[in-house]
Amino acid sequence: MARGSYHGAMAMTQVPTRETLLDSLRAVIDPELRKDIVTLEMVRSLDVHANGVVDVTVSLTTPGCPIRDHFQTAVDEAIRGVGGIAGVNISFDVLSDAEKQALGRKLGRPSLPEGALAQVRNVICVGSGKGGVGKSSVTANLAAALVAEGKLVGVLDADVWGYSQPRMLGLGAQRPKVNGERKLVPLRAADGIKVMSIGFFVEQDAAVVWRGPMLHKALQQFLEDVDWGELDYLLIDLPPGTGDVSMTLAQLLPHAKFVVVTTPQPVAQKVARRSAEMATKLNLEVAGVIENMAGFVTPAGERFPIFGEGGGELLANELEVPLLAKVPLTMPLREASDAGVPIVASNPDDPASQALRQAARGLVALSPVELPVMQAATPPAAPKPVGMSLPMA
């Protein structure tokens, strides 16, 4: 029989030290970061009580961390493995943004220098699973619509392969200048939107082969070395898919939100869902869904659901986020894009313009006006179209 059961008092004096226990936690590896939680400084607290009970708090990178169970088991095993333990209480909390950034630096992952984008209040990435669903059109028009709401807006064209903002915002062959602080000055579209795009730097229609590190560097530069100044919204037009660019942006901009553009087809919605899943995995909040290319309405008012129906709503419900708008297919939208003036500005009465204005108001309604902590306890609202009744700022 074990000695401990006869000599309870003695067992108590043999409770392992905090250092020993902490050391044992080096066996607990974060499967994503591939380092142990002690090195990663994710052990928030570790208290050993005289009765042999150990309290451990582990800080996760995200509240809904799917690897939580893994940690629960691994920490328990590691601590008990030391011996002389009467019980283990494991709790979890979440790393603060500052701690996440510090962790990023520790892992050699880039983060923006302090102060870059300091005057940018909201960053919104516009993404979708695939190309051709109207991300760029939506981005350009959302920008114009946010301007119409009285906001200061910038657009970063992060689609380095298929940049289209220079064309859509009517900024053909200009090149940005460098200011006294050696920062690139974004070009200004007609209604004051600040725009930066790789398209300003490459020969027209030249194919640019961007590879990982170079791409990363270019994006970093567009965030760090561009004089964005004060902005209420920086909209980022993402390339199709869920690849490198989103990953880089998520690392550089942990506060960014994601708007998913989809067409009404259930198939498109599945693809779009993948990009939303990606956003969640990268710890970016999905702010809402915009369904584009919703029914075509003839001038006589007849409606044709060319790309089907309901994909946007389905996706919004599934993600439990608002469906910000259903933007119909309209010929003026395409014409306006090609002419370099967003339709929201050139033809505000077009049904597409109205839908896009609605989406912009929804975004404004969702943007953080720092709420008192009390509000945090409210359960997430059911998905709903938003932004219809916002008082104008």
Ligand X SMILES: Nc1ncnc2c1ncn2[C@@H]1O[C@H](COP(=O)(O)OP(=O)(O)O)[C@@H](O)[C@H]1O
Q: Establish if 132 lies at the interface with ligand X (CB under 6 A).
A: yes
Q: Establish if 329 lies at the interface with ligand X (CB under 6 A).
A: yes
222 phi and psi angles, rounded to 5 deg: -70, -20
Of the candidates 61, 59, 238, the one whose C-alpha atom is nearest the C-alpha of residue 136 is 238
Q: Establish if 134 lies at the interface with ligand X (CB under 6 A).
A: yes
Please, what is the minimum distance in Å from the beta carbon of residue 338 to Mg ion?
A: 14
Q: Establish if 293 lies at the interface with ligand X (CB under 6 A).
A: yes
333 binds, among ligand X, Mg ion, none (CB under 5 to 8 A by kind): ligand X
262 binds, among Mg ion, ligand X, none (CB under 5 to 8 A by kind): none
For residue 249, give both structure tokens.
């942006």
3-class DSSP state for residue 295? strand
Strand bridging mode 153-157 / 323-329: unpaired
For residue 326, give both structure tokens.
């259903």
Strand bridging mode 187-188 / 194-197: antiparallel
Q: Amino acid identity, residue 183?
A: K
- The residue (of 123 and 152) whose beta carbon lies closer to Mg ion is 123
Residues 149-188 close enough to bind ligand X by CB under 6 A: 164
293 binds, among Mg ion, ligand X, none (CB under 5 to 8 A by kind): ligand X
330 binds, among Mg ion, ligand X, none (CB under 5 to 8 A by kind): ligand X
Give all strands of the β-sheet with 53-60 in edge-to-edge order.
43-48, 53-60, 87-94
3-class DSSP state for residue 226? strand
Q: Amino acid identity, residue 213?
A: P
193 phi and psi angles, rounded to 5 deg: -65, 130
- The residue (of 24 and 128) whose beta carbon lies closer to Mg ion is 128
- The residue (of 30 and 159) whose beta carbon lies closer to ligand X is 159
Which residue of the chain is nearest Mg ion when measured via CB? Answer: 136
Please, what is the minimum distance in Å from the beta carbon of residue 135 to ligand X?
A: 3
For residue 99, give both structure tokens.
């701690």
Q: Establish if 337 lies at the interface with ligand X (CB under 6 A).
A: yes
- The residue (of 136 and 197) whose beta carbon lies closer to ligand X is 136
- The residue (of 65 and 279) whose beta carbon lies closer to ligand X is 279
Q: Establish if 133 lies at the interface with ligand X (CB under 6 A).
A: yes
Q: Any residues with CB less than 8 A from the CB of 211 and at least 6 apart, and which?
A: none
Please, what is the minimum distance in Å from the beta carbon of residue 174 to ligand X?
A: 20
C-alpha span between 216 and 239 (Å, rounded): 13
Q: Establish if 333 lies at the interface with ligand X (CB under 6 A).
A: yes
Please, what is the minimum distance in Å from the beta carbon of residue 262 to ligand X?
A: 10
- In DSSP terms, 303 is beta-bridged to 297
| Residue numbers at the binding site for ligand X (CB under 6 A) | 128, 131-137, 164, 292-293, 327, 329-330, 333-334, 337, 352
